[in-house]
Structure 1
């Protein structure tokens, strides 16, 4: 993969020196048997250039409006969706918004962006870097998967007239590499298990690194609770929480019956962050079969969740996300990998949006407690960083600096 550098380079590929895995001092590593993304790279993405974000079990992005907090998390979510097998057009419906501001097209009138990440786990640090062409047509024009300084997969666009990239992956057999075409609208790393036989030690190394990266990316749940969606009764479904938490009542119908201990923890959080008495949080089936959420006040009164304020609804949804497990969240988990070998990562933009100081403080304490126990990882953007200094184990990344 090649490019002309960041100045005016429309579709720069991952640079050769990225095959060298840098040391990341003072960054806690995840459990060795649970792959997790520990570094996000925004080489050339929207307003970011050459930005590296270290991700610990509890990471908060701060900075003034326009500093790129939401953009950074959007890149993280995009990598997660690509790792789960989503198509490029689905992940980037507006690809031109991802092109760095002021980027000039090259001689072929192409422009694009570059992002990447590192996943730590049993195979050590595994790096993934991709170069995406956004204009004149959307396609992945370069991808590199590396581990221990060794390039395990590398792709490049050879024939712009064909919807494929030429791929070369490590073999270490009679031939050092194996070559073949891969589609230009899918992440090649996620496709390797279908293309690599695993007959040689080199091929098995490729498969192990690819699996670690894919498991880390597929263990991500990006959420942005929308109070308007949460106020509408929902049909009975599978009880898996959606990104906007609009099916909160359906999930409460399931979780309240399945796990009394976690529901008890949720109620403790509700009492700490919501106004008035709270004896229970439950779902009720309406005559037409739909479900609505209710807050039981304990004196015969039940408050319909649609009557709660935006802050209370967002607080309830985020507390539920932090307290539940991957089986309740709408994520495409790696089914062939046991849950015990997967780490759940919650990505939340506007983590403190609409919350009052008491709710923010309670939610931060809950997040710190769950992350410290190893139940999940959290990467969140906050607008008010004043309370983060008191959050045990939190890493604060100031993007405006």
Structure 2
């Protein structure tokens, strides 16, 4: 990949990158029909770090499995990068170390350019919508090619025409008096995310472009990267927004809110904790302290309460991930598109080390919770594990086996 701006061709699956994929399930359904929630159903890493020509199917619950160095964390990082670009983040914030994303054996061209390519497919009301982007990492970080397609029709295409300008030339489908509209777009933003601000929507073609772009952006923005850090979860925390942070360090503040506002889901959380915490669990409560902080405790049901500080790492990670799966975007610190009805949204939780510190019973119960939520369509989960033998064959779970 010496010149990343030549083209952005859809990648083919690389048998060397994906050993096998098991337990791919049918799409979730809503109201008796096919699910129309915007959701990412394929991740493509055409040339990204250790991946080449790789395409990964994503189901309601997907586990990337493989030894250290097989590319599990890299795949999740690429997904998170696409999500941030879909949310409008500038390229430099998304890729602070772009050289690390370039395939190791990629050689620079005569002008010293190297880069990488990633993409995805988002399903929804408009059917499968494909997005592929080419990023130049050296000598200057910029998006040099982007393509948005539906049913083989290119709805948006950008290309770098003048390396001296910090713009790309964009052309999008119009289907009016002129077949396409051309205009410059900044080279540090995802063009697809900018289309709703640029396309008038006056023709059928323009409306099709808008619908496809909005489906892709909604699917990408509805992502919550989550890595619970037990060492941050044990101490009391100040009360705040009540929206869970990716590290789950403000767990007590969130419980203070959800126990009062989400009684049904709180009951489900308590029920799940009985299978993941040692000893009896009658309730999970949050208690305000005189200094203005709040702490979380397990109510043992016999007058005894156990502070979270006394729980093991596995119990805390199990508690945090179960809370994430049972709540949704209204309780998580995620920039979900508020203008989109809940019926058309599907939150995706990204968690590296899905089974880290969990015992066999905890990981099976947590996976079962993820599968049940995925079946309903509201919450999807993409995680990484070193060994997925315990998960293979679980209904509703897609296991992607990688080799280094």
TM-score, length of structure 2 as denominator length: 0.92
Residue 233 of structure 1 deviates from its aligned partner by: 2.3
Q: Does 1:352 align with 2:355?
A: yes
Instruction: Determine helix, strand or coil for the equivalent of 2:321.
Output: helix
Change (3 A) 1:60 1:308: same
Q: Does 1:187 align with 2:190?
A: yes
Q: Does 1:11 align with 2:14?
A: no
How far apart in 2 are the matches of 1:65 and 1:313? 24
Q: Does 1:299 align with 2:298?
A: no
What's the counterpart of residue 377 of structure 1? 380
What's the counterpart of residue 179 of structure 2? 176
Q: Is the 8 A contact 2:37 2:125 kept in 1?
A: yes
Q: Is the 8 A contact 2:345 2:378 kept in 1?
A: no
Q: Is the 8 A contact 1:27 1:54 kept in 2?
A: no
Instruction: Determine helix, strand or coil for the equivalent of 1:61.
Output: strand
TM-score, length of structure 1 as denominator length: 0.93
Residue 269 of structure 1 deviates from its aligned partner by: 1.1
Q: Is the 8 A contact 2:44 2:118 kept in 1?
A: yes
Instruction: Determine helix, strand or coil for the equivalent of 1:395.
Output: strand
Q: Is the 8 A contact 2:25 2:397 kept in 1?
A: no
What's the counterpart of residue 26 of structure 2? 28
Instruction: Determine helix, strand or coil for the equivalent of 1:396.
Output: strand
Residue 205 of structure 1 deviates from its aligned partner by: 0.7
Deviations 1:97-128 (A, max 9, x none): 11111211111111111000000111111000
Q: Does 1:97 align with 2:90?
A: no
Name the count of aligned residue pairs.
388
How far apart in 2 are the matches of 1:102 and 1:233? 48
Residue 274 of structure 1 deviates from its aligned partner by: 0.8
Instruction: Determine helix, strand or coil for the equivalent of 1:388.
Output: coil
Residue 278 of structure 1 deviates from its aligned partner by: 1.6
Deviations 1:358-382 (A, max 9, x none): 1111111111222123332111111
What's the counterpart of residue 270 of structure 1? 273
Deviations 1:69-101 (A, max 9, x none): 110011011111111111111111111111111
Root-mean-square deviation over aligned CA pairs: 1.7
Q: Does 1:41 align with 2:44?
A: yes
What's the counterpart of residue 15 of structure 2? none
Residue 29 of structure 1 deviates from its aligned partner by: 3.4
Residue 386 of structure 1 deviates from its aligned partner by: 2.0
Residue 246 of structure 1 deviates from its aligned partner by: 1.0
Q: Is the 8 A contact 2:9 2:132 kept in 1?
A: no
Q: Give unpaired runs (5+ residues) of structure 2.
A: 13-23, 29-33
How far apart in 2 are the matches of 1:299 and 1:350? 35
Q: Is the 8 A contact 1:14 1:114 kept in 2?
A: no
